[in-house]
């Protein structure tokens, strides 16, 4: 068995679940959730097992798919986040059904199973066509997921915005791919890199292609100035879908960006300086445009949306440190590290918002008032998550930021570093604002205790512990992401 058969199996399971309800209308939500979560969990276990033995994709896939350290990491990442999103969906089911047309949620459990293989294929893509196909698999499924709560006006607005801008960005991306192909004569990363290292390649068309490509990907990962859609879409989409967008979709975008930047910045590349400058500017801009407007947000979902933008900025800055040899991690490794720290804190943040929604609360910062009294556990894990998002030491978030800052200092990008510091300082304000709200209470705030079921407790504690462990003992994660000399050996211990 190979990793590929797991991916295909997952997609087939998704299709079966999609059709299942048509033939078995009596099937319950619980069964559906059980099957889909069980499927992903099984896939993850098999993935861990297969990883040890099969280190190659099957032969017919080898021109299109690779299985290097990063690919393996992101494939595992996709499985984990898909599982968490399905879990979150089953938690939110109670209130989500109010907003769907038929009061059912079946597609919410089957579509993620199709998104997941898409993200996994993206992680291993070796050429731009594979990238494009798997990206579309992900994005088209997301169009449906975002629009799922059809009875909510905000969700409709979100889905229209996401559809239009998503389609536009796809167009720009394809246009960029076409230019790159025209200029370099190749669609594989390897071929493009070879052509770029050749000084005889004409610069301008490649540069245009690269810029369009980066703009298209910028839309996907919510990088400024293509980030305008994010707050509205995040606010309108159902909470599990927002989580999926914020973590899964972003990770998928960044694995492609990592590959693309690695290609564009190859030794002797004719466009390396321009790409580097572009990354620094876009990164600094994203950090500022994410963090500064976040100060004024009162809706926690919007706040987390802006926070998600700002993290995209830090990730771009991590990518800009391409070629820095001072750290054992490549720039792509730092991005992967950052995303691994970003996953638990973001999921935890949205989980708490979701639990408040389930218990009839709103999504405003003021709805968080008195949370410490209503549920000390939730308040504590949310404090940990927010502290980590703010980048306080001893949490995972600080480790990620430390790598980014080290990279920036190492390349002496002082202006950008200044922007990153300003962003981080602003972050202190809006994350702490939420913390303060949780612990303060007054007459107007609800004091009803929040009931938590066992699985929520376990899940939340596991995520919170992950944040702290990654913050004080990140060594295993780092060695997992260490650049290996060959594409294979790193995986096969």
Partner 1 sequence: MSPLEIVILLPLLAALAIWLGAPARATSVGAAVINLLIVLGLVFGFQTASAGKAGFAFESARIVLDNPAITFGVGADGVALILTLLTSLVTLAAVWQIGDDKPGIYHISSLLIAAGALGAFLSTDVFFLYAFHELALIPTFLMIGLYGHGEPEHRKAVAWKTTIYLGAGSLILLAGLVWLVLEFSGGGKLTFDLQALRAQAALTPLPVEKQAQIFFVLLLGFGTLVSLFPLHSWAAPAYATAPTPVAMLHSGVLKKFGLYGLLRIALPLLPQGAQVAWVQETLLFMLLGNILVIGLVTINQKRLDDLLANSSVMHMGYIFLGLAAGTEIALRGAVLLMFAHGISIALLFALAGRMRNQLGTLELKKLGGLGEHAPAFTVLFAFGAFASIGLPGLANFAGEVMVFVGSFMNYGSASFGALQWSVVVSLWGVVMSAVYMLRAYRNIFHGSAMTGLFMRDPALSQRLPLIMLAAVLLIVGCCPWLLLNLIKSDLAAVVAP
Residue ranges that bind partner 1, judged by CB under 8 A: 326-328, 376, 380, 383, 387, 392-394, 398-399, 402, 405-406, 409-410, 417, 421, 424-425, 428-429, 432, 435-436, 439-440, 472-475, 478-479
Q: How far is the CB of 91 from partner 1 (least distance, A)?
A: 24
Q: Is 125 helix (H, G, I), strand (E, B) or coil?
A: strand
| Comparison of 226 and 430: residue with beta carbon closer to partner 1 | 430
Locate tokens 């202190």: which residue?
Answer: 428
Q: How far is the CB of 472 from partner 1 (least distance, A)?
A: 6
Q: How far is the CB of 354 from partner 1 (least distance, A)?
A: 23
| Comparison of 207 and 384: residue with beta carbon closer to partner 1 | 384
Q: How far is the CB of 403 from partner 1 (least distance, A)?
A: 9
Rounded Cα distance between 341 and 77, Å, is 11
Q: How far is the CB of 372 from partner 1 (least distance, A)?
A: 8
| Comparison of 248 and 391: residue with beta carbon closer to partner 1 | 391
User: What CA–CA distances, in Å, run from 378 to 85, 351, 381?
Assistant: 19, 9, 5
Rounded Cα distance between 474 and 344, Å, is 14
Locate tokens 């929520």: which residue?
Answer: 456
| Comparison of 43 and 384: residue with beta carbon closer to partner 1 | 384
Rounded Cα distance between 349 and 355, Å, is 10
Residue in 133, 99, 115 with CA at minimum distance from that of residue 40: 115
| Comparison of 75 and 401: residue with beta carbon closer to partner 1 | 401
Residue in 331, 321, 309 with CA at minimum distance from that of residue 430: 309
Contact of 69 with 484, CB cutoff 8 Å: yes
| Comparison of 131 and 399: residue with beta carbon closer to partner 1 | 399
Query: What phi and psi, each to the nearest 5 degrees, are found at residue 386?
Result: -70, -40
Q: How far is the CB of 384 from partner 1 (least distance, A)?
A: 10
Tokens representing residue 217 in the block: 């990907």
Rounded Cα distance between 363 and 353, Å, is 6
Locate tokens 């205790």: which residue?
Answer: 449
Locate tokens 């910028």: which residue?
Answer: 218
Q: Is 188 helix (H, G, I), strand (E, B) or coil?
A: strand
User: What CA–CA distances, in Å, run from 364 to 32, 301, 433?
Assistant: 32, 8, 12
| Comparison of 12 and 402: residue with beta carbon closer to partner 1 | 402
| Comparison of 55 and 383: residue with beta carbon closer to partner 1 | 383
Name the burial class of residue 446, with classes exposed (0-12), middle (13-18) and buried (19+) by CB atoms within 10 angstroms of its CB.
Answer: middle
Q: How far is the CB of 312 from partner 1 (least distance, A)?
A: 21
Q: How far is the CB of 473 from partner 1 (least distance, A)?
A: 5
């Amino acid at each position: 068995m190979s990793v590929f058969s797991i991916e295909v199996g997952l997609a087939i399971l998704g299709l079966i679940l999609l059709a299942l309800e048509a033939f078995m209308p009596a099937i319950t939500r619980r069964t559906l959730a059980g099957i889909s979560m069980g499927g992903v969990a099984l896939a993850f276990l098999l993935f861990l097992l297969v990883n040890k033995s099969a280190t190659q994709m099957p032969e017919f896939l080898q021109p299109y798919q690779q299985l290097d350290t990063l690919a393996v990491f992101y494939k595992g990442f996709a499985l984990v986040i898909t599982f968490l999103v399905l879990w979150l969906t089953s938690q939110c089911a109670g209130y989500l059904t109010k907003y769907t047309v038929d009061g059912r949620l079946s597609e919410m459990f089957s579509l993620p199973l199709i998104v997941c293989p898409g993200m996994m294929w993206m992680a291993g893509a070796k050429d731009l066509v594979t990238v494009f196909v798997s990206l579309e698999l992900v994005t088209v499924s997301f169009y449906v997921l975002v629009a799922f709560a059809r009875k909510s006006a905000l969700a409709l607005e979100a889905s229209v915005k996401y559809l239009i801008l998503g389609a536009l960005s796809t167009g720009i991306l394809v246009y960029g791919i076409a230019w790159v192909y025209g200029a370099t004569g190749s669609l594989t990363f390897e071929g493009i890199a070879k052509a770029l290292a050749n000084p005889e390649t004409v610069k301008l068309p490649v540069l245009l292609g690269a810029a369009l490509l980066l703009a298209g990907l910028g839309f996907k990962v919510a990088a400024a100035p293509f980030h305008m859609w994010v707050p509205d879409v995040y606010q309108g989409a159902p909470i599990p879908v927002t989580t999926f967008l914020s973590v899964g979709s972003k990770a998928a975008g960044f694995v492609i960006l990592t590959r693309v930047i690695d290609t564009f910045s190859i030794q002797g590349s004719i466009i390396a300086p321009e790409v580097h400058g572009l990354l620094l500017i876009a990164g600094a801009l994203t950090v500022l445009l994410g963090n500064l407007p976040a100060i004024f947000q009162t809706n926690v979902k919007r706040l987390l949306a802006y926070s998600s933008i700002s993290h995209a900025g830090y990730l771009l800055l991590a990518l800009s440190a391409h070629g820095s040899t001072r750290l054992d991690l490549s720039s792509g490794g730092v991005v992967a590290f950052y995303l691994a720290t970003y996953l638990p804190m973001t999921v935890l943040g949205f989980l708490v918002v979701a639990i408040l929604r389930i218990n009839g609360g709103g999504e405003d910062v003021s709805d968080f008032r008195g949370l410490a009294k209503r549920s000390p556990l939730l308040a504590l894990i949310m404090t940990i998550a927010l502290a980590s998002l703010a980048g306080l030491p001893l949490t995972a978030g600080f480790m990620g930021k430390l790598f980014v800052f080290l990279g920036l200092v190492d390349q002496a990008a002082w202006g950008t570093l200044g922007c990153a510091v300003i962003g981080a300082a602003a972050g202190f304000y809006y994350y702490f604002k939420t913390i303060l709200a949780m612990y303060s209470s007054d007459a107007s705030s609800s004091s009803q205790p929040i009931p938590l079921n066992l699985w929520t407790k376990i899940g939340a504690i596991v995520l919170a512990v992950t944040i702290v462990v990654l913050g004080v003992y990140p060594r295993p994660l780092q060695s997992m992401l260490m650049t290996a000399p060959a594409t294979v050996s790193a995986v096969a211990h």
